[in-house]
Amino acid sequence: MKTMVNRSVTAFGSSSRDLRRGKALARSRARFYHIRGSGVLTWGVLVMRRRSFAVRSSAIAAVAVLVLGACASDPTTPAATSTVPASPEPLGGTLVISNWDLYMPKSVVRDFEAETGVEVEYALHTTNEDIMGKLTASNGGGFDLVFVSGPFVEALTELGYAAAIDPAQIPNLANLDDEATQLAYDPGNTHSVPYTWGTTGLCYRSDLVSAPPTSWEVFRTSSPDTDQQMTMLGTDRWLLQPGLLSLGYSINTTNPDEIEAAKQWTMEAKPNLLAFDDTTFYAKLVSGEASVVQAWDGWCEYGVLEDPENIEFTIPTEGSDVWTDTMVVMESSQNKAAAHAFIDYILQPEVGKQIVEYTLYKMPNAAVMAAVDPAVLETHETLSISPSELFSQEAQTGLGEEGTILWVEAATEVKAG
Amino acid sequence: VSVAAARPRRRRWPTRVAFLGPGVTWWVVLFAIPVSLVLAYSFARRGPFGGVIYEFSLRNYARAIDPLYLRVVWTSLKLASIATVVAFLLGYPAAYAIATASKRWRLPLLLLVILPFWTSFLIRTYAWIVLLNPAGVLSTLAIRLGLTDGPLPILYNEFAVVLGLVYSYLPLMVLPIYASLERLGPVPEEAAADLYATRWQTMRKVTLPLTLPGIVAGCIFVFVPSLGNFIVPDLLGGGQTVMVGNLIQQQFLTARDWPFGAVIAMFVVVLMIVVLGVQAQVLRRTQEADHGRA
């Protein structure tokens, strides 16, 4: 397939991986693509075989743990290798994880179980708010490891639900990009470890617009190419972001005047829009209903999967946000060693590579990104956005109580107005 | 003798408990307790991270009468009412046709009414997007036939929302009306005909009033869930129409402001009680009329 011409990736948008509904279709396509593109079919068969072996070997490991338990001196010493753990570690026990659906290949979890003897209970949440609700309802209990977006790490830490990360148990932290250790919501990764990151930008059909969009102002500008053919994200944090960025304000502002101005900006954009859409915007691009949409980079790639010739992604000149999804160990966990081991497992190049090729999201992990199949990188150009480029965007942070109310009211007014 | 008479009476208690128990438990656990919780939340305060702080205040209620929210309530009432009226206009004739069809046809026709429920609501709603979208079947057809120059403006607006609501809840209008028409039977209409009533007079003065309980039930079954629906405005309204259901969803999930969400939810609960009160009133009146006639 033809390489995409316009790689004018300059600025970024933010996104917590909030709305995963509606991804299933893209996912199945993604799998199909992978099978065609990189011979994953064979790989799948291997995984299937490994699975039955895995069940047996974990049973053996469990027995071994029981028998040797008395003699084992220190079962928590982590493997020091940066690739595959040498042998099944005598970790055992269970590990309750909550993650977004389709945000990790199931094989990764199964392989982890096989290699460590830990039994993983893999729960799903649909949004950050969903898992926050579950955690607040049970006062931080019920899970060992949860996946949440950056701003929610602050909340979990503040509430005392997040355990301190013990770097000694995660040697593969060394694989993280430098930028990923200085993220605004948790500098030094004291209570979280970044899983994936990315930005928000304009995803567009190069064959349907006369000139590639370069600015967020595209939404506020009436043009025959784009009138009633654009969508913006409907969730508050992203709904007001194009306006705030265009007006030169922070994407984390809690200043009522700035929020009001961004609200006005968005109201002016509304007549040009087809819809506010958080879930199917890429499908609207593919069908030609829309020519320009505000999109998270990874979700734009779902459109690229179906139309690699014409669908492009760009970060507008005014800049955007950098969002990070993270892994947080719970303070209430009875098996923190296994939770740390899981994080360490994820950070390995061979494992991370499977995740990136499956989700089409970037990991802030140079070793992982170097291991990704070049064919996938070539088709999905947003995977090549550099860490420094990402990091130059503003990170989303929490808005506080009054700030949140202002934002939600402004968003409601835009949508209802 | 007295012992024999008392025994069955005493035995009734276990039976009553066994029969009523599950229903009452269901009602208490899944209705009374949750609604009380929502009521309690509505007077509380949002915590900095979305929790609930139990400090009595009426602040949330004061916030709810902001013109912004009143406008949303007005939109919801308007759209739910339009959907109810349209569903009635479509549903009554359909129910009438089924009720008066030959016995052989009734069951298959009823089955057709219920059939859509066998597919997920979400999928059926997405299917409408496929039909209505500017590059979709209807617009393409209209352009080909030369009926219009550009795509039809039939998606991502209030029209699409009403359409989606009517489509989703039409069976809930047809079924209770069918039930009351069936119970009525052909006799009253035959009597009206014998007394030289025209068909229109029969419908207006006999059939419609006698099936009023079914009509009211159908209207409630359509109106109440329409008012609270948030999926249809989100998908078919393109996120540009905000209804009460969206507000509640947004407060509980996005804003994590449970107390304020609870206030809006309480509003819907109160509205539902009012509507059900009206229904009870209508039912009582028709029953009284029946007894009067008898």
**Cβ <8 Å between B239 and A159:** no
Q: For residue range A277-312, list pLDDT tens digits in order.
A: 888 899 999 988 899 999 999 999 999 999 999 999
Tell me how far apart the alpha carbons of residues B173 and B150 are, in angstroms, rounded to a whole number: 35
**A417: pLDDT confidence band, cut at 50, 70 and 90?**
confident
Tell me how far apart the alpha carbons of residues A20 and A74 are, in angstroms, rounded to a whole number: 41
Give mean pLDDT, residues A354-366.
Answer: 95
Give mean pLDDT, residues A233-257.
Answer: 94
A240 is written with which tokens? 């007001």
Q: For residue range A194-206, list pLDDT tens digits in order.
A: 999 999 999 999 9
The mean-pLDDT minimum among A18-27, A224-233, B78-87 falls in A18-27
Query: What per-residue confidence (pLDDT) applies to B170?
Result: 95
Tell me which DSSP letter residue A167 carries: G
Task: For chain B, list residues with pLDDT below 70.
Answer: 1-10, 48-50, 290-294
ipTM over 0.85: no
Nearest to A288 among B47, B135, B247 (CB): B135
Query: What per-residue confidence (pLDDT) applies to A76?
Result: 40
User: Is the Cβ of B240 closer than 8 Å to some Cβ of chain A?
Assistant: yes
User: Is the Cβ of A235 closer than 8 Å to some Cβ of chain B?
Assistant: yes
User: Is the Cβ of A342 closer than 8 Å to some Cβ of chain B?
Assistant: no
Nearest to B46 among A275, A288, A401 (CB): A401
Give mean pLDDT, residues A185-213.
Answer: 95
Q: For residue range B105-129, list pLDDT tens digits in order.
A: 999 999 999 998 888 888 999 899 8
Q: For residue range A115-168, list pLDDT tens digits in order.
A: 999 999 999 998 887 898 889 878 889 999 999 999 899 889 988 999 999 999
User: Is the Cβ of A137 closer than 8 Å to some Cβ of chain B?
Assistant: no
The mean-pLDDT minimum among A131-145, A208-222, A355-369 falls in A131-145
**Cβ <8 Å between A404 and B256:** yes
B-facing residues of A in 378-417 (CB < 8 A) are 400-401, 404-405, 408-409, 411-413, 415-416
B49 contacts in chain A (CB < 8 Å): 132, 136, 155, 158-159
**Cβ <8 Å between B49 and A158:** yes
Nearest to B238 among A133, A235, A275 (CB): A275
Q: Is the pLDDT of residue A6 over 50?
A: no
**A404: pLDDT confidence band, cut at 50, 70 and 90?**
confident
Q: How far is B257 from chain A (nearest CA, A)?
A: 8
Residues ≥6 apart with Cβ < 8 Å to A383: A301, A356, A360, A362, A369, A372, A376, A377
Tell me how far apart the alpha carbons of residues A357 and A349 are, in angstroms, rounded to a whole number: 12
Token pair 């609604």 is found at B35
Query: What per-residue confidence (pLDDT) applies to A33?
Result: 34
**Cβ <8 Å between B253 and A415:** no
Q: Of the candidates A151, A103, A157, which has an alpha carbon nearest to the alpha carbon of residue A135?
A: A157
* Cα–Cα distances in angstroms (integers) from residue B191 to residues A201, B62, B187, in the given order: 71, 57, 6
Give mean pLDDT, residues A349-367.
Answer: 95
**Cβ <8 Å between B46 and A270:** no
- Please report, to the nearest 10 degrees, the dihedral formed by the alpha carbons of residues A400, A401, A404, A409 taken in order: -160
Query: What per-residue confidence (pLDDT) applies to A372?
Result: 95
Q: Is the pLDDT of residue A209 over 50?
A: yes
Give mean pLDDT, residues A344-366.
Answer: 95
User: Is the Cβ of B205 closer than 8 Å to some Cβ of chain A?
Assistant: no
Percent of chain A with pLDDT over 70: 78
Q: Of the candidates B228, B260, B265, which has an alpha carbon nearest to the alpha carbon of residue B61?
A: B260
Task: Select the highest-mean-pLDDT range: A243-252, A388-397, B65-74, B113-122.
Answer: A243-252
Interface contacts A/B by beta carbons within 8 Å: 85
If you measure CA to CA, which chain A residue comes closest to B237?
A275
Q: Is the pLDDT of residue A398 over 90?
A: no
A16 contacts in chain B (CB < 8 Å): none
If you measure CA to CA, which chain B residue comes closest to A410?
B68
User: Is the Cβ of B34 closer than 8 Å to some Cβ of chain A?
Assistant: no
A155 contacts in chain B (CB < 8 Å): 49-50
Query: What per-residue confidence (pLDDT) applies to B161?
Result: 95
**A397: pLDDT confidence band, cut at 50, 70 and 90?**
confident
Long-range Cβ contacts of A384-387 (<8 Å, 24+ apart):
A385/A9, A385/A12, A385/A198, A385/A199, A385/A297, A385/A315, A387/A177, A387/A178, A387/A179, A387/A180
